[in-house]
Structure 1
């Protein structure tokens, strides 16, 4: 009996016997120490519910006690005992005694270690969720930065992530040509609302300054800009994470390095292309050459489209429109080389087909010019005879002075550098009458992803016929306005409209 009593009192868990109404009939020493009360104060005087926290008491009376009456058992129910040092989390298991007395046998084990483990688990889960959110934001920002074109594109990508970074407004400062930090773009606030930036050396990490968070955008060799954020202090808003902001700043600095190189390359290419496309056109009373160039809308790079017109002699006019495959500085350089090559091989008595024949080996030595498309023609200013050869290029549009319009599908062959063995270049002849016009153009005028090409060709012919009453300059302007919808993406477009007035 003494051995059983010792085992009862020294058990590592609390052991109780309860009357059917919950009164404590017996309790071991472990339980009494947990609640900090002597046996005389508890046994036969208090119910178990009186030793629980308020929430535990309500739960006992409304759920556990009725469940014991019905089921006869409850297992590992989380409750809290009121002890001398505060609340003690426990797990309780209770069964109704099988002897018919209705008494309850109760075991109560400490859940303090388990609660600590659960808290640590919740903290670890919160840390994991925070890390996942940080990674997600970094992935989104990195993807946006990689898609941004030029410094303005990088600034737009940063401002687009303002909400994800925990801010309600932001301003992006970038260095200008003089090396000064100037506000370049803003969202959620006016461009000049961010105030001046502090002077001095910028740290590598994000810093707080007068209610804002400043994220330095360091490039490989110097500071490229600063992202000034106004934190979102609304209800439920998470404060910006400094580590995430610092990582975003590092990614943006690298993107700005690339953007500066891109902007310089694009500027050089634009200057090159404009220098070539704005060369003086030949002037003569017998013809009018009208040209237009519309850069692509979707990308900001230059392309390889070009047009040219020059006199082979006093009675023969050569016109050409070409398109280099690809975009960027390499395409613009290849365009300049091919344009010069056309002028070099063309001459009196050569003819369109032989000009294209001579260009085939040339593009083989200029990789970026491979598969270029060209339409080249020569107009005899005395007779109106027009000879042309088309290497994979869209067909010219003949606009008759009588109001007719048709595409010229004759004289066609493969793009430059893609000769079919045993088959030479072909050419075609047209006899123009005074007042006729011939439109040469690049594929950006007619190609659209959402429309079939034959339908676009039909639209080109219909619009061209409607514009015949207009002068050459107005006709070219109206044609581009009607076929190139504002805001709609298109490739680069070159146009050359040749109007023949007659031999005198």
Structure 2
């Protein structure tokens, strides 16, 4: 005979989730067939009734029942979707536990929904999240190293940046760059995995060979972050490229410095009627060779040529253009031409040879017999005339930088003249003496005039001017000529 009661009982027994009826102390009074099947597997005779629910859960679930679920049932009368694991014949079964206390007698109804697939999915999510976090940390580590290496200039700075970037990883206890002895330098297969001593090594390889091995001591404790060897190899490879670049740059700078030094350390003319002195101050950074240069030579027995120029740019190309302009100026100057025509000739050289475009140049000729100084400025700062009464800038004879307005399409370059008194000095200089980003040019020129007006002569004057210059980020040079007014021989 069947009826509503028997149907309800059958539905309770065959429900697709485990159902338990417990007494107030948590002992099983009744369990449906689904739960019994979980616990007993094929052995349907295994008893569940009379057992405490904690004994049917794993150790963690038992502890959680006693410390959280049971107190919550006492205080609130119910709990919902608590994750536990049921002890089954096939192993722990993840389940969501929902329970409610009956107000009448304190008995507890429990429903357990098996979530094995959900647990697997959650574990996959956890693994995927962990992998994404590791990938993010790996990428952040590599990006940090790339940024540090890109800002490093010389080889020593690159090595320091490489070691600092690797040491920033929390799993790295120590790191060094080994170039000889011990490990085989440049071996791409050895040391890629930590040995018993917790060390691993990767080669820092450049285009032409290895710069050594990056030897890393990993911490290795379970709580420490692990070092990704592939990321470490990427950083080491970038370090090799950065070292290649730094060494190439260093060699280029060495050649440029030597070229510039050869052009600046010339034997300046010396005679009793004129005193010529020069000074050069490189930029504080020392990593880029500037285009500042000077020269002085006799155009005629009584005519002294004075030249100061500034080539656009830095480095080996600027040094090469500087040498070409210096040589061209000497070759193109001649008696009777005057500064304006000499600059026209140099302008033609710049246009024809396509070198030194936009460079500035001041060229002056001093007639030592009369004390007349003729000068022309191609985009350059004005000469400074220093007398006993003070200092005055010579603003005449100005025209555009070299190559900008060639004489073939424009008028000849203008020139200025000034007559010197015995003991007067004229200063030619580059922008590094007076220019600074945070100071107006007028203030820099005024400062130069004040400095040059102090009692000093010859090399002492050029040193005084360079030491007082506001700009230490750019090269600077000064050429000074003092006319004594006496007849030369």
The residue aligned with 2:267 is 280
The residue aligned with 2:115 is 111
The residue aligned with 2:453 is 465
CA distance change for structure 1 residues 202 and 377 in 2, over 3 Å: closer, same or farther? same
In the TM superposition, residue 101 of structure 1 has moved relative to its aligned partner by 7.6
Which residue, 180, 183, 196 being the options, matches 1:198? Answer: 183
Which residue, 25, 42, 62 being the options, matches 1:53? Answer: 62
How many pairs are equivalent? Answer: 473
In structure 2, how many angstroms separate the alpha carbons of the residues matched to 1:103 and 1:305? 97
The residue aligned with 2:478 is 495
Secondary structure of 1:279's aligned partner: coil
Which residue, 80, 90, 97 being the options, matches 1:92? Answer: 97
Secondary structure of 1:393's aligned partner: coil
The residue aligned with 2:404 is 418
The residue aligned with 1:365 is 352
The residue aligned with 1:28 is 32
The residue aligned with 2:466 is 480
In the TM superposition, residue 62 of structure 1 has moved relative to its aligned partner by 2.8
In structure 2, how many angstroms separate the alpha carbons of the residues matched to 1:281 and 1:381? 16
Secondary structure of 1:326's aligned partner: coil
In the TM superposition, residue 350 of structure 1 has moved relative to its aligned partner by 0.8
1:218 aligns to 2:205 (yes or no): yes
In structure 2, the gaps of 5 or more residues are none
In structure 2, how many angstroms separate the alpha carbons of the residues matched to 1:120 and 1:4? 39
The residue aligned with 2:336 is 349
The residue aligned with 1:191 is none
CA distance change for structure 1 residues 413 and 242 in 2, over 3 Å: closer, same or farther? same
CA-to-aligned-CA distance 1:448-472 (integer Å, 9 cap, x gap): 2232222222222222223x33x42
In the TM superposition, residue 79 of structure 1 has moved relative to its aligned partner by 2.8
- Pick which of 429-438 and 328-337 moved more: 429-438
Does structure 2 retain, via aligned residues, the 8 Å contact 1:138–1:247? yes
The residue aligned with 1:407 is 393
CA distance change for structure 1 residues 239 and 74 in 2, over 3 Å: closer, same or farther? closer
CA-to-aligned-CA distance 1:284-339 (integer Å, 9 cap, x gap): 11222222222233361322221111111111111111111111211111111111
Which residue, 408, 412, 435 being the options, matches 1:447? Answer: 435
In structure 1, how many angstroms separate the alpha carbons of the residues matched to 2:117 and 2:182? 51
CA-to-aligned-CA distance 1:95-129 (integer Å, 9 cap, x gap): 577x9887654321123332332222222211111
CA distance change for structure 1 residues 480 and 422 in 2, over 3 Å: closer, same or farther? closer
CA distance change for structure 1 residues 28 and 275 in 2, over 3 Å: closer, same or farther? same
CA distance change for structure 1 residues 219 and 50 in 2, over 3 Å: closer, same or farther? closer
RMSD after superposition = 3.2
Secondary structure of 1:478's aligned partner: helix
In structure 1, the gaps of 5 or more residues are 174-180, 183-195
CA distance change for structure 1 residues 310 and 171 in 2, over 3 Å: closer, same or farther? farther
CA distance change for structure 1 residues 47 and 256 in 2, over 3 Å: closer, same or farther? closer
- Pick which of 121-130 and 210-219 moved more: 210-219
CA distance change for structure 1 residues 211 and 314 in 2, over 3 Å: closer, same or farther? farther
The residue aligned with 1:186 is none
CA-to-aligned-CA distance 1:372-412 (integer Å, 9 cap, x gap): 0111111111122111111111222222234x123332222
- Pick which of 454-463 and 7-16 moved more: 7-16
CA distance change for structure 1 residues 27 and 290 in 2, over 3 Å: closer, same or farther? same
Secondary structure of 1:327's aligned partner: coil
In structure 1, how many angstroms separate the alpha carbons of the residues matched to 2:425 and 2:222? 68
In structure 1, how many angstroms separate the alpha carbons of the residues matched to 2:355 and 2:163? 36
Does structure 2 retain, via aligned residues, the 8 Å contact 1:9–1:30? yes
Secondary structure of 1:53's aligned partner: helix
CA-to-aligned-CA distance 1:30-55 (integer Å, 9 cap, x gap): 22344559899654664679854212
The residue aligned with 2:418 is 430
Q: Give the TM-score taking structure 2 as reference length.
A: 0.85
Q: Give the TM-score taking structure 1 as reference length.
A: 0.83
- Pick which of 299-308 and 244-253 moved more: 299-308
Does structure 2 retain, via aligned residues, the 8 Å contact 1:383–1:503? no
CA-to-aligned-CA distance 1:41-98 (integer Å, 9 cap, x gap): 654664679854212321112335433x3xxx6542223445567654311234577x
In the TM superposition, residue 246 of structure 1 has moved relative to its aligned partner by 0.8
Secondary structure of 1:383's aligned partner: coil
CA-to-aligned-CA distance 1:8-49 (integer Å, 9 cap, x gap): 434332112345675544321222344559899654664679
CA distance change for structure 1 residues 366 and 136 in 2, over 3 Å: closer, same or farther? farther
CA-to-aligned-CA distance 1:141-195 (integer Å, 9 cap, x gap): 223323333423422321331333443544335xxxxxxx46xxxxxxxxxxxxx
1:301 aligns to 2:288 (yes or no): yes
CA distance change for structure 1 residues 307 and 172 in 2, over 3 Å: closer, same or farther? farther
Pairing of 1:76-225 with structure 2 (within 5 A): 76-82=81-87, 87-94=92-99, 105-165=109-169, 166-173=171-178, 181=179, 196-199=181-184, 202-203=187-188, 207=192, 212-225=199-212
In structure 1, how many angstroms separate the alpha carbons of the residues matched to 2:205 and 2:10? 72
In structure 2, how many angstroms separate the alpha carbons of the residues matched to 1:410 and 1:235? 78
